Structure 1
Amino acid sequence: MENAVDKPAISPGVPAAELASISMPERLETPFGALEFFDGLPSPESVARSYDALDLMRGVEVFLNCMPGASMVAMRKGFRSIGVDASNILGYTDPKATSANVVLTANTETTYGTNYLDLKTDGPLVIEAPPKALGFIDTIWQRYVTDIGLAGPDKGAGGKYLILPPDYDGEVPDGHFVARSPTYSNWLVIRALGGVEDIKKTQIYPLAQADDPPPTEFLNFSPAAFNGIHANDGSFFDEVASIVAEEPAEALDPERAGQLAALGIVSGRPFAPDDRLRGILDTAARLGAGIVRSILYAPRQDEAYIYSKGESMWSTAFVGGSHEFLSNGARLLDNRAMMHYVGTGITPAMTHAAVGVGSQYAFTARDVNGDWLHGDREYTLTLPANIPAKTFWAVDIYDTQTRSLLQTDTPYPSVHANTEDLATEANGDTTIFFGPSAPSDHPHNWIQTVPNKGWFPILRIYGPLEAWFDQTWRPGEVQPRTDARA
């Protein structure tokens, strides 16, 4: 160019402090041990230690981030172990769930119907949903597919749903609510407000057999003892690897798929860690489980507390108001881990806080003083008069180890609006008692605890009213009982 002018570059120099900030010292102390370098080049021992550290950190991240999938695999395995092992077999609870089922935070008040749909074996599946149902379908990675019932397109009237596998390119007949899943294995759960009678109106069959559908079988799993909770040790990674082996690679986002690939969990390849990596992954799972227990039981984010942090111990496990745990373009990783460590199931309906519709939950593992709830001690919880529940309310208690219903002398560790002979105070308040033995003055308002075990309650408000949302009504705190019993 004719008018181009060369200008000399400015040469400010590199200060020693700035040079040090981009260099590596000869010895670096880390939580994983010392790393040693010659002019930035790691020693052989430091190379090995660095990769051990990297595998450990990625293992912890995989535990926290892939927990939704492992949870689904573990529950599917549990249901298969008791005979709920085909798409047309619907497990249900009659009359309600019990503590024999070691699953995450089931309630003892509503009737469940559930199974795992196998679109690889059966192809497209038709689900004839009952009326007055509240349900949904999630993928095996616990991602949302569709709502069913009151929150779904049938609006509670019931109807036919057609669930398509990821690779289906055939005809889609009219007369169905259609949803396509990115995975072959999918979790169906239905809560029927009409109880067992309505659950048994559900029909599930392959689209290919719609003209002469085989009968749906029903299996009452209420009394069955089985485990449906994912591992907290190295076998967690085998649970996750089984999904990667079964499902399309694109069913998982690239970021988490990359974390898994770094540990040798890759679609189309066997997962076969050597003894070194297996040991590191066992440590990673245990460390991840320890970390997420702090996230769950002692959340540090203010928005996890229903009322002001420091003022009340009541928390919500579903933080952030997004079923995809998104806020301003960011994935809220701790919120996702918190939710999936204590519960199962994701649907946009969880985010719709409508007066008189759905349900709201509050939990705490601490008493009013901030101390952990202990099974040896006695406590009270007062629910003030006019509990804002259009349908009903309930308090269930759970095992802090398994997050499943606490196993006591009764299979139903709960007190609720329909508890027989429930006592209320003259002013309308309801006081619930917790402890290893029943108080003689309030035996029907008592939930048994187990000595030398932790526990936590979940308060459920079904059909929450305005007073719940505007917080003009709020539950009392869990109080240590210091008065002498009658």
Structure 2
Amino acid sequence: MTSRTESLAGLAADAYVYGFPLVFDVSMISAFMHKGFGSLPPTPFNRFGHSTKLATPDAHFVSVNNDTVYSIAQVDISGGPVLLHVPDTVGAYYVLQFVDVWSNNFAYLGQRATGTEAGDWLVVPPGWSGTAPDGVRGVIDAPTSVISIVGRNACDGPEDMPRVQALQQQLTLTVLDPASHRTGLPAPDPDVPEELRFFERLRVWMAGFPPSAPDQDHQERFQPLGLLEEGPSPYVNADPALVKALTEGAAAGKARVEAASNPPADGARPPGAWEMNPHLFDYNLDHYGIGTIDSPQWRITDREASYLVRAAAARAALWGNHGYEAVYAHTFTDADGKQLNGARSYSLRFEQPPPVESFWSVTMYDTPDYYLVDNPVGRYSLGDRTPGLVYGEDGSLTVVIQRERPDDREGAANWLPAPAGDFRPMIRLYTPGQSVLDGTYQLPPIVARG
């Protein structure tokens, strides 16, 4: 019995890693629809919810950005296609990122992918074989019957909001057959005990949103855990041995995801080196729509290894873009290898601006939640579009990172506020240059001052 329980626990740990992105993603979809995120209001299916301001600490979403204004829609296409209208941004940066419920990025519209002119696009469900209406620029094939459209419009501060808000009002979804769509997400059994609810959600949502055929073959191995059972939940009155295995497996799987989200320092990397992985979101192996790059360079070769990468990406940066759209870099330590903490003061010196085609920023997050950090001046990020920055005569820029406002003018102008405790800053490089993607460009380390 012990060996069987251990075997089931190991299988449950694998299932946790495999299923975490689905459970987390659908949970965030539900939260968005019922509670909203920060200034994004609760929004039903097939409508955009628009931020009325750049993100602030009340947006409790992992690694939310403070460079762009969000417009997010949860789209249900279970009953047929939805027509998306995109306005002309007159050359300004924007991206609409299409994400299925397994957290795969499967299409992009925007400055990099399709230009900035206006147009209509047809979003269609899996297996759709109809005819697109005249005048649409293209068809976006969705891998699952519910998807997220994550829109980001570059915003140069509060004074730029009227321009962005005008664009938001022109971004629309039109359901072609309103009566045929679902009204909610598949509901897990509420009587399942708390310690088994992850697996109940995974069971119900796997059935409701089947993955690609290769992934379906992989998840067949989870049959002994009850994850493939249809009808009444097997977890309401589960056998104690199964409960033990699932509980232990969930703990082990969670530990694996956390470890992958915050890997130990690589001895081959210098202390304080930024963790910058342009290929963090390369786990989508099956669906390449408009705006994606279908190339071996952007595909993880080992499917089973991709499940842990996918889980770590969901945990630390859900709904992040492929590296060719934006690259994210983070660090937990300074140049001496010590944990970053608000009890100390730091500097981050850029000898030259990072190589990007659009823009770059550095944003402050707390740990372990990776939320924006509240501060008295309301500055959550800093970058090449921040007004009033003071550059050196040689073109360099020194960012001051500390809890208290610096006394000198240059330090105050270039100040990125830190929290009292540990923190993790993130640098975003929008439409990064080739030297970022091939690894020849290295971000400077954060140096402790005094």
> Which structure is higher in RCO with an 8 Å CA cutoff and minimum separation 6?
2
The structural deviation recorded for 1:255 is: 4.3
Which residue does 1:140 correspond to in 2?
Answer: 101
- Match status 1:246 vs 2:208: yes
The 5-angstrom pairing of residues 45-444 of structure 1 reads 47=1, 49-82=2-35, 84-120=42-78, 123-132=80-89, 133-152=94-113, 154-166=114-126, 168=128, 170-176=130-136, 177-193=138-154, 195-208=164-177, 235-248=197-210, 253-266=215-228, 268-273=230-235, 274=238, 276=240, 277-278=242-243, 280-298=245-263, 309-310=269-270, 313-319=273-279, 322-324=282-284, 326-328=299-301, 330-333=303-306, 334-345=308-319, 350-352=322-324, 358-409=325-376, 412-441=379-408, 442-444=411-413
1:116 to 1:251, Cα distance in 2 relative to 1, 3 A = farther
1:1-20 superposed matches below 5 A = none
How far does residue 114 in structure 1 lie from its aligned partner after superposition? 0.6
* Cα offsets for 1:338-381 (capped at 9, x unmatched): 3222112376xx254xxxxx433221112112222223332221
Check 1:411–1:123 CA distance in 2 against 1; reply closer, same or farther (3 A cut): farther
Cα distance change on mapping 1:265 and 1:470 into 2, 3 Å:
closer
Cα RMSD over matched residues? 3.1
Offset at residue 100 of structure 1 (A): 1.0
Tell me how far apart the structure 2 counterparts of residues 471 and 254 of structure 1 sit (CA, whole Å).
35
Any conservation in 1 of the 2:358–2:431 contact (CA below 8 Å)? yes
SS in 2 for 1:399: coil
Shift of 1:417: 2.1
TM-score by length of 1: 0.72
Q: Report how far residue 147 of structure 1 moved.
A: 1.9
Shift of 1:138: 1.8
- Letter paired with 1:455: F
Partners in 2 of 1:271 and 1:478 — Cα distance?
A: 51
User: Greater Rg, structure 1 or structure 2?
Assistant: 1
Q: Secondary structure at the match of 2:17?
A: helix
Check whether the contact 1:127–1:205 (CA below 8 A) recurs between aligned residues: yes
In 2, distance between residues paired with 1:312 and 1:141?
A: 32
Report sequence identity in percent.
21
Q: So what's the TM-score if we normalise by structure 2? A: 0.77
Cα deviation, residue 208, structure 1: 3.1
Q: Is the 8 A contact 1:140 1:243 kept in 2?
A: no
Using the TM superposition, give the Cα deviation of residue 335 of structure 1 relative to its aligned residue in structure 2, in angstroms.
3.0
What whole-Å deviation, never above 9, does each CA across 1:387-407 have from its counterpart, x for those lacking one?
434433211022221223234
1:470–1:265 CA distance, 2 compared to 1 (3 A): closer
Structure 1 residue 463, shift from structure 2 partner = 4.0
Aligned-partner SS, 2:199: helix
Cα separation, 1, equivalents of 2:283 and 2:224 = 27
Matched residues in 2 for 1:131 and 1:234: separation? 48
3-state SS of paired residue (1:332): helix
Unaligned runs of 5+ in 1: 1-46, 210-231, 303-307, 353-357
Aligned to 1:17: none
d(CA) in 2 for partners of 1:362, 1:131:
30
| Contact 2:82/2:175 (<8 A) preserved | yes
Alpha-carbon spacing, 1:127–1:252, altered in 2? closer, same or farther (3 Å): farther
| 2:365 partner SS | strand
Distance 1:167 1:454 in 2: 48
TM superposition shift of 1:179: 2.6
**C-alpha displacement at 1:80, in angstroms?**
1.4
Distance 1:466 1:164, change over 3 A: closer
Structure 2 distance, partners of 1:366, 1:445, is 20
Offset of residue 234 of structure 1:
5.2
Deviations 1:279-327 (A, max 9, x none): 543443333333333223225779xxxxx62365211244378353644
Give the AA of the match of 2:144: T
Q: Deviations over 1:33-59 (max 9, x none)?
A: xxxxxxxxxxxxxx2x22321232122
Residue 184 of structure 1: how far off its partner (Å): 1.4
Amino acid at match of 2:425: P
> Distance between the aligned counterparts of 2:141 and 2:128, measured in 1?
9
SS at match of 1:107: coil
Q: Distance in 2 between matches of 1:261 and 1:408?
A: 49
Inter-partner Cα distance in structure 1 for 2:97 and 2:103: 11
